[in-house]
Amino acid sequence: MKQLVILSGKGGTGKTTIASAFIQLAHASAYADCDVDAPNLHLINRNFDHQNKEDYHGLVKANINQELCIKCHYCVDHCRFNAIQEGLQFVVNQLSCEGCGVCELVCPAHAISLVSSVDGEITLSFNDDEFFSSATLKMGSGTSGMLVSRVKAQLKEKADNLPFAIIDGSPGIGCPVIASINGADMVLVVTEPSLSGISDMKRIVQTIQKAHLKMALCINKSDININQSLAIKEFAKKNSIPFAGEIPFDEEVIKCINKGKTIIESDSKAKDAIKIIFNRVMKWFLDENE
């Protein structure tokens, strides 16, 4: 199963809007939302007949057995994260605990143990021939990269016999993004003509180049700053990155999203532009000779 990953380098560029449009235009039967910190692809997705959910166990956390605790204060004294709160009982603040195990080591009563923490939830929505993998990370939890890997592995396990999958990747350039592009065959970078948009675009391009992946670039809301859009095109040309096209700012996009629909279900100039980009990108993506 080939993987097309859509990234942006930053939030708010329209990555998920374009990903949802690609999914509908391609009649994709396998797709995933790898933005586990703030997933939203499901908001503009159709209903599924079945849905499986399971807890995601990430980091271990300290747990104090109150029956064994002798309130010696050793755990409080040695916790560098100030995660153990003292009161009538000694209680571990799960948001502050890093699971380092020092408290377990110094406890003379063996009252502290490290236990697996439920840090999120993984979801598989499916029909007989369509699969959507996603997840939600709990606020303050770590290991988002590991959870993204689980999201992709779940999709691959269920839909590996399908020809391709479209992946709505994570914003930024950190661990979730690295996990998003792992195993990808091509990446579409969505950027916007702003200073922050260009800066983050350059960072994500460098990340993709280090992974030696095939890549294309498109501009969303291209007419809000013509000069910056020209600078993005020049950057793509200078770095030999195929330019897939540009999408003008269109208020119909906002109206569609508010109704829980994709932009393909509207009659707008943005829809026409996305279709052009889609056709180019899918040709590059599915071309076995490139």
What confidence score (pLDDT) does residue 122 get?
Answer: 96
Which residues have CB under 8 Å from 86's CB, separation 6+? 73, 76
pLDDT of residue 253: 84
B/e letters for 72-85, b = 16+ CB within 10 Å, e = fewer, are eebbeeebeeebbe
CA distance 48 to 235: 41
With contact defined as beta carbons under 8 Å apart, do 165 and 3 qualify? yes
Is the Cα torsion angle 105, 107, 113, 118 positive or negative in sign? negative
User: Tokens 């391009």 map to which residue?
Assistant: 205
| Beta carbons of 139 and 146 less than 8 angstroms apart | no
DSSP SS3 for 8: coil
Give the fold, CATH level 3, of 57-118: Alpha-Beta Plaits (3.30.70)
pLDDT for the residue 282: 95
Contact (Cβ atoms closer than 8 angstroms) between residue 31 and residue 213: no
pLDDT of residue 45: 67
How far is it, in rounded angstroms, from Cα 14 to Cα 133?
20
Instruction: Report the 10 Å Cβ neighbour count for 133.
Output: 26
Six-digit token string for 261:
């629909």
The amino acid occupying position 262 is T
Question: Which strands, in side-by-side order, build the sheet including 243-247?
Answer: 50-64, 112-126, 131-137, 30-33, 164-168, 2-7, 186-191, 214-220, 243-247
- Other beta carbons within 10 Å of 9: 28
Return the structure tokens found at 227. Answer: 């000069």
CATH match of 2-48+130-286 with 3.30.70.3340 = no
Cα–Cα distance for residue pair 285/244, rounded to 1 Å: 12
Degrees to nearest 5, angle at CA 70 with 67 and 72: 150
24, 26, 9: which is closest to 265 by C-alpha?
24
Write out residues in the chain with pLDDT < 70, as ranges.
Answer: 45-46, 288-290
Residue limits of CATH 3.30.70.20 in the chain: 57-118
What does the pLDDT read at residue 173? 87
**Residue 156 confidence (pLDDT):** 94
Q: pLDDT at position 269, please?
A: 87
- Helical spans, DSSP H, in the chain: 15-25, 74-78, 102-106, 144-159, 175-181, 195-210, 226-238, 251-258, 269-286
Of 212, 214, 232, 236, nearest in space to 223 by CA:
232
CB 83 within 8 A of CB 62: yes
Torsions phi, psi for 3 (to 5 deg): -125, 125
Give the residue range(s) of CATH 3.40.50.300 domains in the chain: 2-48+130-286
Q: Is 51 helix (H, G, I), strand (E, B) or coil?
A: strand
Element (H, E) at 52: strand 50-64
As a whole number of angstroms, the longest Cα–Cα distance in the chain is 70
